[in-house]
Amino acid sequence: MTELSLTFLGTGTSQGVPVIGCNCEVCSSDDLKDKRLRSSVLIQSPKANVVIDCGPDFRQQMLRTSCSKLDAVVLTHEHMDHVAGLDDVRPFNFITRKDMPVYCTDRVLQRLKVQFSYAFAEDKYPGSPGFDPHLIKANEDFVVGDQSWKAILARHGTWPVMGYRINDVVYLTDVNGISDESMDHLIGSKVLIVSALRKETHVAHYALSEAIVMAKKSKIPQVYFTHFSHSMGLHAMESKALPKGMTFAHDGLKISLS
């Protein structure tokens, strides 16, 4: 079995934790587990380092994990807290002298062409980021580095969002619904990472109780929650109330998947 690990680079929702200007007990907490950059994970195999999502904290995340090699970026959807850091792939462009492979749906690519129009321009300014887009489709397999990935379609309010299964791990963020067909692709997985925004309901994200229901339905034995806001409460306190096998992820947490 391949040696595979996953590191949580960020576990916060779109504003991160602490939130600018907020003095709540979570934003004021000294516990490093209450400090959450925008959500992203680094998946490392012997041959490839891949990030899922590339939000506004991407540069800081690469530096603090000493990640000096990146082979691909895989995107879940086009919200800025998941793509805003794409300009910062430039150091990797300069090291490899190649465009960065970016795996996403056509819908996401069309948005990137608007948000990062300068990077797709014919007369690119020297030093602009270089992207090498690879289109993926819902519920289909694709290969990144030396791993087979499956894109799993889920719902994010009125938007589609892609979750991913790599070996026995499933990463599903910014979701508030998943079809039975997509759920079938989760069968047999050992680790589920799923977003849970807060305790109160939201139009486009699972509340914690909804994420717990979905996780139980999946029957995946080890569950990590991610992408949550300061209103979820203190990590140390809230962790005690979770069902067995379920944990709040925190920035820097690294899990072995082999």
Q: Applying CB under 5 A, which residues contact Zn ion? A: 19, 22, 24, 27, 79, 81, 174, 230
Cis-peptide into 91, omega within 30 deg: no
Q: Smallest gap, in angstroms, from Cβ of residue 30 to Zn ion?
A: 14
**Helix, strand, coil shares of the chain as percentages rounded to 5?**
25, 30, 45
Q: Which is nearer to Zn ion, 48 or 204 (CB)?
A: 204
Q: Which is nearer to Zn ion, 4 or 42 (CB)?
A: 42
Q: Which is nearer to Zn ion, 57 or 71 (CB)?
A: 57
Here the tokens at position 237 are 């306190």
Query: CA distances (Å), 237 to each of 5, 33, 233, 234, 251, in order?
Result: 27, 11, 7, 5, 17
Q: Which residues 6+ apart lie within 8 Å of 112 measured at CB?
A: 78, 83, 86, 102, 104, 120, 131, 133
> Look-up: residue for tokens 């979570």?
26
Tell me how far, at minimum, the Cβ of 81 lies from Zn ion, in Å: 4
Residue 236 Cβ vs Zn ion, minimum distance, rounded to whole Å: 16
Least distance (Å) between residue 122 CB and Zn ion: 31
How near is the Cβ of 217 to Zn ion at its closest, in Å?
22
Smallest distance from Zn ion to CB 98, Å: 28
Cβ closest to Zn ion, residue 27 vs residue 183: 27
Per DSSP (E only), the strands in 87-226 are 100-104, 131-135, 141-144, 147-156, 159-166, 169-172, 191-195, 222-226
Q: Which is nearer to Zn ion, 24 or 67 (CB)?
A: 24
- Please give the helix or strand (H or E) that residue 73 lies within, else none: strand 72-74
Q: 71 vs 81, which CB is nearer to Zn ion?
A: 81
